Structures are given as C-alpha cells and as structure tokens.
Amino acid sequence: MSPAEETQSQDKPVPKGAITVSQINADEITFLANRYWAPDTVSSHEPYNPQVIEDIYRKEICDSRHSLRRIMMLEFSQYLENFLWPNFDGGKSSRAHLMSIVAMVNEKFREKVEVWKVFEDNPVRFAEFFQRVLEACIEERAVTPAAMREQTALLVLVNHCFNSMEVELCRNQAKRLVSLAMWSCLQPKRREQELNQTPQWRKFWKKLQKREKTEQMAKLRWERHFLQNLMVKFINILETIPAEGPICEETVRYCERFVEFLIDLEALLPTRRFFNTVMDDCHVVVRCSLSSLVRREEGNLFAQVGLLKHSSYSPSSLAISHNIPSSKILKISDTNV
C-alpha cells in the first residue's frame, strides 16, 4: 500500500460502536486472554484458574450491566471456545461460569456467526449445560434489575435453542420439553377433552404411561412441567409491575422477551402442537391482556401480546394442534365471531 493510500485508509471514519485494533490491543481482556486462552500464546499459558471466570463475569458483565462492548471484546478473544467451554463441568462449574457461556452464545447469535459447532464435540456435556440453563430459568429469585438481566439472557438462549431445531444437538434437548408427555401437567378433565378430539393421541398417551419407569419419573415429571412452571413464573413477575409509579426497565425487557419466546414457540411446527394447549390452560394471553404493563407507555413492545393471541387462536394453529380439518376450524371461528 502506498503512503497516500495508507493515509487515506487511516482517515476513514470508524463506525460508531466499532472496536478499533488499538483498543483491542490495549484492553485488559486481551492481556488476560494472552495469559490464559489466546491460541497464539499457548506455550506461555498459566494453569486454568476458575477465579478468572468469576472476576470477568463480575467486572466485565455484571458491573457493566451486560455491556455490549465488553461482551464483544470477550467474543473477539475467543473466550467461549478456548476457555469457558473446555473447562465447563455440568456438576461443578459455578453460576458465573454458566452465565458467561450464556452471554457468549447470545453474542454469537447477535453477530450472526457460527454458534453450535463448538458444542458438537461433546453432546453429553452440552446436555448438562442445557439442563443447568433450564434449572436457572425457573429458580425463585428476587425481582431485581441484576436478576432480571440474567433471566432475560437465559430466556434468550433457550429461545435460540428452540429456533435451532434443525441442529441435532438442540433438537435432542428441546423436543423432550414439548412432546405429548407435557400434557401430564394439564388438569385431568382438560386432558380428557383434548384426547377425545384426537383418538390417535390417546393411543400414544397410553403407550407413554406403559413405558414409564419409576426411577425416571422425577426427571420426566420435571421436564414435562418445565414450560408450565416457566409460564407461571413469568405471570408472577408480570404482576409485580404496578399500574403507576416507578418501573424496573429490566423487568419490562424480560416480559417483552418472554412474549417473543411464546410467539416463536407458537410459530414452530414441532413445538406448537402440544404447547399451545398448555399455554391456553395457563391463561397466559388473558393474564397478559389484563396486566398493568400492557396499559403503560413503557409496555409498547409488550403489546405484541396481540400477535400472540392471534397466533394461538388462529385457524391454522388450531388445526395443527388438534389435527382438525381447516374447514371445520373456520366454521368454529366464524361461529365464535
């Protein structure tokens, strides 16, 4: 490159929010990467130290309120591939380690780069990781800004997994949460009503009952009730938002993301068939429509609940959920109108 061309390239304005090479080289994360995980300094790496993850999560993610710029720096350093994932242990790794992986996966999706390949070499460990994510999604925690930021990040990752059903790794984890077996969380009368509409499902239901083993029941029951428990938790959080006065922005963001999550589950053929009935049984659409948030100015995006209502009660959705011919569904719809 000629001196004139070099000067010209240096004079080009840096896009707003972009990280420059000089900033990367001078950043504390780069120095840490060189000490512990950068691929070009392998020969001089210090031994693995879990405290590094604790410190990075507290300082770079929590204290910065999940700053996009700091997470971008971590992603650029290949933090997930070279340090977080190789050292993750489903039974021993800390919450900070878990949440750091969640943050990195979500950032990869935001940047639209390859995500799941790094996990494919160890599907057993990924299953342990995903189970930890699910457990963290429904644990009882105080509704604080910090907790809501974490809950939102967890929810976004679960949604990414459901939206990646074409990937075997994700499909194996997601499908167990949305099968016919999830109807075990319905009230008996409601379940009978649904099974009566589709005799072939009753046959599958009986087979499920026969195949169940006592030693697996606790795990199976947990999986079958997961989405119901998650929706109950969402409703409880939604009801903490007052009709007037101060409002927690992070709680609003969580509620918005949750409605997006439900819309996506309704939009996916493998998930909505049985999930739609469970969502209806939880009265989620009704509770959202009656909430304080939907009437507040801060709840503009939460108004997507109208789209959720449409997708959950549309003729096509009902036809898929119950294997009822569309013509019959349309007649039912016209009668209701």
pLDDT digits (tens, 9 = 90+) for 202-216: 999 988 887 766 668
User: What is the reported pLDDT for 329?
Assistant: 37
Q: At residue 88, does pLDDT exceed 70?
A: yes
- Does residue 5 carry a pLDDT above 70? no
The Cα–Cα gap between 318 and 272 comes to 10
What integer pLDDT is reported at residue 301 of this predicted model?
Answer: 75
pLDDT value for 288? 94
Q: 38 vs 337, which has greater pLDDT?
A: 38
Q: Residue 328: pLDDT band by 50, 70, 90 thresholds?
A: very low
pLDDT reported for residue 17: 61
Judged by phi (left if over 0) then psi (alpha if -120 to 50, else beta), residue 167 lies in: beta
Closest by Cα among 183, 187, 223, 174 to 204: 183
- Give me the pLDDT at residue 284, please: 95
Q: What is the pLDDT of residues 146-202, one digit of tens each?
A: 999 999 999 999 999 999 999 999 999 999 999 999 999 999 999 999 999 888 899
Q: Helix 217-238 to helix 269-281 angle, to the nearest 10 degrees?
A: 70
Gyration radius from the chain CA atoms: 23
Residue 246 — pLDDT band, cuts 50, 70, 90?
very high
pLDDT for residue 16: 57
pLDDT at 306: 85
